[in-house]
Amino acid sequence: MLTYNVHSCRGTDGKVDPARIARVIAHCGADIIALQEVDVGRARTHGIDQAHVIASQLRMEVHFHPALHLADEKYGDAILTALPSRLIKAGPLPSVGEPRGAIWVSVDVGGTELQVVNTHLGLRRRERMNQIVALLGPGWLGNPMCRSSPFVLLGDFNARPSSVVYRTITRLAADVHLGAKSRPRATFPSRYPLFRIDHIFVGNGVVPIEAEVQSDGLIRTASDHLPLTARISVPTPLSPEAAIGRQAARL
């Protein structure tokens, strides 16, 4: 699993290159990808549908939500995977200034429906708090479907571990960096990382195994953020026989 703010595929060298972003993702080897700051049909990035270009190079399906939609120009968040998946919800979050949103996709992982929510929170403290309250509410992670299923909440939260937003999330979900007992590393800015603001949180039986901030010459150049990857264990569904046995044990 990977979360990555791709900065409209514009690298620290000023070059717009979705293929380079796809190479970074391929190098990381994740099978569920959450991207933020994806341009679709925007003049500033040559009118390219970055979501589909990256997905096609990775041979994955893509679900895209435009947090910003002006005429034919779109900008927002995407979830890519080659696993069976279906879009549950994509919509806005309470925003001041630049619109923000989230996208929720259910991914079949070995017979288990994993609920994956990708977001990019705002730059202002109160705005971020309002947005995370909405994400933890009944429209998103507070929905019965998420409350009863394994879930992942990931993205660019613009919030460090000392923040109220981060602490609010960790009342419900585990930070993969801490759950995997790996040394947390900063993700932004990519050249000289100082801030840990990109996160992956898991809950309802999802177990973090390892987490890593990917960094090499190509990765430090491809975007102004570094990608965060995590290996997780998702609970497997009970066979009918095991389910009957468990029910009998309860009786």
How far is Cα 251 from Cα 246, in angstroms, rounded to an integer?
Answer: 9
The kind and range of the H/E element at 92 are strand 85-93
Phi, psi of 176 (to 5 degrees): -60, -35
Cα–Cα nearest to 65, from 92, 98, 47: 92
3-state secondary structure 183-207: CCCCCECCCCCCECCEEEEEECCCE
pLDDT in tens, the chain (251 residues): 999 999 999 999 999 999 999 999 999 999 999 999 999 999 999 999 999 999 999 999 999 999 999 888 999 999 999 999 999 999 999 999 899 999 999 999 999 999 999 999 999 999 999 999 999 999 999 999 999 999 999 999 999 999 999 999 999 999 999 988 778 999 999 999 999 999 999 999 999 999 999 999 999 999 999 999 999 999 987 544 544 443 333 33
How far is Cα 101 from Cα 99, in angstroms, rounded to an integer?
Answer: 7
Cα–Cα nearest to 47, from 80, 27, 71, 25: 71
Phi, psi of 142 (to 5 degrees): -80, -5
> Is the distance from CB of 60 to CB of 80 less than 8 angstroms?
yes
pTM of the predicted model, to two decimals?
0.93
